Amino acid sequence: MNKEQHENIALITGASAGIGLELTRKLLSEDWQVVALNRSDFPADEMSIQEAVKSGRLRMYKTADLADYVGLRQTLEEIKSKEKRIDILFNNAGGSFPELSYSKQGREKHYELMTVVPYIILMELKELIKSSRLKTVINTSSSALKFTKEFNIEILERPKTFRKLIGPYATSKLALSLWTQAVAPQLAEDDIKIRSVDPGSNNTLRKGKDSGLPLIVKPLMKLFFSPPTHGAGKLYEGALGEHRNETGVFLLKGQVAPLKFKDHAMNVLERIHAIYEQEYLQRHF
């Protein structure tokens, strides 16, 4: 068995900036191979990243919009045709939008991008995960989910109101953690473990990009929030730390935490599985 067969391989969505970029740096520094599913390019002026790309240890697959099933399907098919296995899938891509907007499929965009798409990616790459050694899935969640006061599928897909951060963003992250819990027994049949992880409060502001954060949060973020290395560390610990043998759990500050509205977990899973089967698999784009 050669060295390449011994090396661990992680797939990270949203790996070109913020927490995803810091996680990419960390894993590369520990001799992992990283498969990146990105919307944008890696920093061109960072030598270690560019060297990893040249050597093939960092492989990038691009799609303009993860929430657009046409591009997503093409990119996932390319990954499946070129990659041999995935030890850890980090479903990390996301963000908060400044206003109510909808995906090309007609659902609220936070929900599409951060609840539905991670499930599609998991289902499509499941065989690559099964053929690996670590067989782990980490979904990036958020402590913002605690602000959710009302919860049902209709609110997720077509919200009646919009509030930055504590509106659709928070409910979508809660829904992500709920389906993570619900799908765990099914994945366990293939020895796959799945957890959702809050990466904590990180300063992920980017110049020239509307973050979708409430005005009061932006100065607080600059002053008091941790750099994205903190969030990357939390995701890394969530994957490989003390809870590595647990499945279906939500990790908050490194500890297993309860979820609100957990009686809705199976409803969320059934709905997004129906979207996957009826829209992603059956439609010919």
Distance between CA atoms of residues 238 and 89, nearest Å: 12
- Average pLDDT on 131-153 reads 95
Distance between CA atoms of residues 282 and 268, nearest Å: 20
Distance between CA atoms of residues 55 and 93, nearest Å: 25
Distance between CA atoms of residues 200 and 227, nearest Å: 10
CA 20 to chain centre: 9
In the block, residue with structure tokens 């759990």: 249
pLDDT at residue 96 in the model:
85
Distance between CA atoms of residues 60 and 56, nearest Å: 9
The answer on pLDDT for 205 being more than 80 is no
Q: In this predicted model, what pLDDT tens digit does every residue of 74-108 receive, in sequence order?
A: 999 999 999 999 999 999 998 888 899 999 999 99
Distance between CA atoms of residues 51 and 33, nearest Å: 13
Q: Residue 47 — very low, low, confident or very high, per pLDDT cuts 50/70/90? A: very high
Q: Residue 2 — very low, low, confident or very high, per pLDDT cuts 50/70/90? A: very low
Distance between CA atoms of residues 98 and 108, nearest Å: 13
Does the pTM surpass 0.85? The reply is yes
Domain boundaries, the chain: 3-281
Contacts of 5 (CB under 8 A, 6+ apart): none
Q: Architecture of 3-281 per CATH?
A: 3-Layer(aba) Sandwich (3.40)
Biggest CA–CA distance in the chain, Å, is 56
Query: Phi and psi (nearest 5°) for 94?
Result: 170, -160
